[in-house]
Amino acid sequence: MATAPRKRFTFECDDITPGLNQASADNRNLVWKKWYDSLISQLATSEYRFINYGYLGSEDVSVDPAEEYVRNFIGLYQRTLRGADLAGKDVLDVSSGLGGGALWISRNYNPASLIAIDLSTEAVDLCNRWYSNQSNLKFIAGDAESLPVSDDSFDVIYNVESSHCYTNFDAFLREVRRVLKPGGCFFWSDFQSRDSLEEIQASFVSAGFTTMEFEDITDGVIRSLEYVRGEISDGSLDSNLFIWGGDTDSIQEVIDEFSDWRSYHRCRVSLDG
Ligand SMILES: C[S@@+](CC[C@H](N)C(=O)[O-])C[C@H]1O[C@@H](n2cnc3c(N)ncnc32)[C@H](O)[C@@H]1O
């Protein structure tokens, strides 16, 4: 029997730039919180579980057939966490969004516990509802620049495509350092303007970390964006499953920005034991 075509999922999202430009440094996080709370409350009935550009590499990423359609978003988490051993460890995800990444990590990397923190209380409430069956996973509300967790409490911390929202990257890194156990590892990925790369690397060093890897992963991110744009345009992918909806023009704009001024990097640092 033929199934009825699904209604296209739509949501409204204001340009956040004017609000950020007007806000004082103390209020910028509040502007992001309101923006994400509004976006996420509209996504509550959708099937979106990731809010990132994704990554498609040449590596063969194994995913469950049911997760095939989000292979590229899972791919970004896998690429960020490359080389990580999380089995039996206490792990922290900072800025977990709609929790698709945290759920995948908690199921596939077997951490003893995975605490996922996000500034958006809407996101945290939804995640605690959606993923309540996953016993090693818990979501709590909090600010990356003032993490609501004790000193020296995590073996591994990771942060995917979110630090561009933070007011003070150095304050965030100080918090990561505070809550990471000696000998622990921190994995980070995000986009940035190419002319800020030296400053970002210097921040990891001044926070007291030893840099193990700092890698340009822009090509794989562009491959993911091109894949989503292409598959949505020719109707092979259901645009209801992507934060982009059917808006292939916006995807192209981001791809163009990557050829122009943006890059996407991944970093692994450690804290001496
Ligand atoms: C682009 S989304 C990425 C979400 C998730 N990591 C993913 O890849 O699907 C950015 C996330 O950062 C969160 N965020 C923004 N500012 C934050 C802050 N100061 N502290 C914690 N989370 C923050 C937002 O609420 C949002 O969920």
- Token look-up 């964006």 returns 225
What is the three-class DSSP state of 133?
coil
Question: Who wins on pLDDT, 60 or 220?
Answer: 220
- The pLDDT confidence band at residue 211, using thresholds 50, 70 and 90, is confident
Tell me, in angstroms, the distance from the centre of ligand 1 to residue 37's CA. Answer: 11
Q: What is the DSSP string of 168-227?
A: -HHHHHHHHHHHEEEEEEEEEEEEEEGGGHHHHHHHHHHTTPEEEEEEE-HHHHHHHHHH
Tell me, in angstroms, the distance from the centre of ligand 1 to residue 119's CA. Answer: 7
**pLDDT tens for residues 104-157?**
999 999 999 999 999 999 999 999 999 999 999 999 999 999 999 999 999 999
User: In this predicted structure, what is the pLDDT of residue 219?
Assistant: 96
User: Would the CA dihedral through 68, 69, 71, 77 be positive or negative?
Assistant: negative
For residue 95, which atom of ligand 1 is closest to its CA?
A: 22
Q: Is 95 in the pocket of ligand 1 (CB under 6 A)?
A: yes
Q: 235: burial class by Cβ within 10 Å (0-12, 13-18, 19+)?
A: exposed
Residue ranges covered by each domain of the chain: 25-270
**pLDDT tens for residues 45-79?**
888 899 999 999 977 677 888 888 888 999 999 99
Task: Tell me the C-alpha distance between 98 and 100, whole Å.
Answer: 6
The residue whose CA has the least distance to atom 13 of ligand 1 is 95
- The pLDDT confidence band at residue 11, using thresholds 50, 70 and 90, is confident
Instruction: Please state which of the four CATH numbers 3.40.50.11030, 3.40.630.30, 3.20.10.10, 3.40.50.150 is assigned to the domain occupying 25-270.
Output: 3.40.50.150
Q: Is 166 in the pocket of ligand 1 (CB under 6 A)?
A: yes
Tell me, in angstroms, the distance from the centre of ligand 1 to residue 61's CA. Answer: 24
Task: Tell me the C-alpha distance between 77 and 99, whole Å.
Answer: 12
C-alpha 139, offset from chain centre: 14
Tell me, in angstroms, the distance from the centre of ligand 1 to residue 95's CA. Answer: 4
Task: Tell me the C-alpha distance between 165 and 161, whole Å.
Answer: 9
- The answer to whether the beta carbons of residues 200 and 210 sit under 8 Å apart is no
Task: Tell me the C-alpha distance between 84 and 213, whole Å.
Answer: 12
